[in-house]
Structure 1
Amino acid sequence: MTSPDLPPALIDGLGVRRARPLGGGDTAAAFRLETTRGPLFAKTMADPPAGMMAVEVAGLQALREHAPESLGVPEVVRWTEDGIVLEWIEESAGPRRPGTEEAFGRGLADLHRVQGPAFGALAPELPGRIGSFEVDLSPTQDWAEFLLERRIRPLMQDAVASGRIDPRAADLLEELAPRARELAGPDGPPTLVHGDLWAGNRLVDAEGRNWLIDPSAYWGHREVDIAMMLLFGGFGEECLAAYHAQHPLAPGWEDRVPWYQLPPLLVHAVRFGGGYGDATTRALLRLRG
């Protein structure tokens, strides 16, 4: 018996015998599909922003193509404008095996060696989206300007306009704006980034293998992923140590973390309010010194 929340176009022909709802995110409904080919994962959204699924699919396919063998990315089985079906990942039910954190750090370091032609969207035909947010992802060679003008400033404007943050935070940002190039750090090549790498978007399966899910992937700067990993925690010290041993970050990266955390903090401020606006202001104050 299938669920009425699953669009027929998404599951027709997959031999679905049963769909069991799962605990999902705040914007999507998730299901385990029991099919004739084994279990599959499905996610649907009601009236998603145009192109959102296409961007997620492109991200999954890019990560799957370029990730090292140690770092899994689920196969896209089927997708439509309002849903996606992926291979099922059987998560580990017990403690993580020794070496799992180090393996993730090394795998991510190898992934971050993949370079693109310019900062921005993975492909020119894709809409400018990172998750549900519309952004300008047209190609550019100027990462520092991209980060300030296409991510931080627009999100700050949205947060102020929605009343989610004290307008004084925008004044702090303008104080820092002339230092945008310094705050972004040394120039580096456009790198394939996951784009939303908090602990919930990393799975560990029953065999101890790490997996990446729910990307907002684009050609960016690898410190984007590192800063996101540090924002909410969930990654062991061994993970970052293994990353640095494999692919060291430029000196001063720790000081740049608050700058790179501004986009996700502002996204959360706009969507959820709460203490995220205050956290954004604290990050700006740290950067101002």
Structure 2
Amino acid sequence: MSAPLADALATALGRPVARLTPIARGDLNDAYVATLADGERVFVKTSADAAVGGYAAEAEGLAWLADADALPLPRVLAVGDGAASPAPAAPHAPAASHAPAASHAPAASPAPVAPRFLALEWIDAGPATAAADEALGRGLAALHAAGAPQFGGPADTLRIGPLALPNAPAPDWPEFYATRRLLPLARGAADRGALPPGTEALLDRVIERMPALAGPPEPPARAHGDLWGGNVLTDRAGRPWLIDPAAHGAHRELDLAMLRLFGGPYQRCFAAYEEVAPLAPGAQERVALWQLAPLLLHAVLFGGGYGERAAQILRRYA
């Protein structure tokens, strides 16, 4: 068991941690199930390179999405921000008339940093079902309808793992998507060498066309922001839960497009969504456009073939 993490968690929860068990969950964090002394289980995510304030921002995003009362999200139980522990005071040396002018004592070691973590309500997972897919579609429609004050925000920076994306509000969705998502992500992917030659020129042409490509104007939706299939969890009662958000005001088609990106049994989800909140004409033609940002994000984080997939989409829309 990671003693520093267990100690920090016990302090934050006010209860002893009997056991920390590693579990598989995601690529950007280490995940554990913490069993408390009274038997309660808690989900814990942590990362050695987590940014200060990153988990606090995720906790705020979970609360903001939960306020819509549309789909269940795990309760936040504790946030560890990883502040440095106070360094012990150096002993006071008495004055000496023959003391050397300069001290040769070794430099003080940096103050230890407590683990950064997010502790959440544990969800017992069950099998995905068609009924859960339908509930997900209806719930997403209600979540998006709850709205957001602007495209982007509330913080000017959105953190996804080690990345910090600009998130300041923009006057409309085409500008936000182009300047706060596609351009910075493409720069990051290019710096990693993950984009084929000519991709940036294609992106410039797509951005020029973005106002026409983006479809009819829509108000900002309250969006999960990172809604691939792994961030939907069905519990034993058949209810779909949303986890690991990058919540912000966005076009509602963004969440739906990302749900389609990596596959999943979601056809009933999309049908149920449209029964509640029909999409604007041309939505099917815009799916790949909204998939550009998550593909570029994956190119930045993981390289591989994600940059080529993004370039193929850019060729289509350029």
Give yes or no for TM over 0.5.
yes
- CA radius of gyration, larger in: 2
**Native 8 Å contact 1:43 1:83 kept in 2:** yes
Counterpart of 1:220 in structure 2 is 250
Per-residue CA deviations over 1:221-266 (Å, capped at 9, x if unaligned) read: 1111011011111142111000011111111011111211111000
Per-residue CA deviations over 1:158-186 (Å, capped at 9, x if unaligned) read: 11122111131111111222211112221
Q: 1:171 aligns with which of 173, 183, 201?
A: 201
Counterpart Cα distance in 2 of 1:197 and 1:63: 13
Counterpart of 1:154 in structure 2 is 184
RMSD: 1.6
SS at match of 2:295: helix
Gaps of 5+ in 1: none
Counterpart of 1:87 in structure 2 is 121
Aligned 1:133-282 pairs, distance under 5 A: 133-282=163-312
Per-residue CA deviations over 1:48-78 (Å, capped at 9, x if unaligned) read: 123211221111111112132xx21000000
Counterpart of 1:112 in structure 2 is 144
**Native 8 Å contact 1:114 1:192 kept in 2:** yes
| Equivalenced residues, count | 280
**Aligned-pair distance for 1:46?**
0.6
**Normalised by the size of structure 2, how large is the TM-score?**
0.84
**Native 8 Å contact 2:192 2:303 kept in 1:** no
**Normalised by the size of structure 1, how large is the TM-score?**
0.92
Identity of aligned residues (%): 42
SS at match of 2:67: helix
Q: 2:60 aligns with which of 38, 58, 61?
A: 58
SS at match of 1:78: strand
Per-residue CA deviations over 1:11-66 (Å, capped at 9, x if unaligned) read: 32233211111113222111111112611111111131232112211111111121
**Native 8 Å contact 1:59 1:217 kept in 2:** yes
Counterpart of 2:69 in structure 1 is 67
| Large movers: runs of 4+ above 4 Å | none
**Native 8 Å contact 1:129 1:137 kept in 2:** yes
Cα gap change, 1:256 to 1:29, in 2 (>3 Å):
same
Gaps of 5+ in 2: 82-115
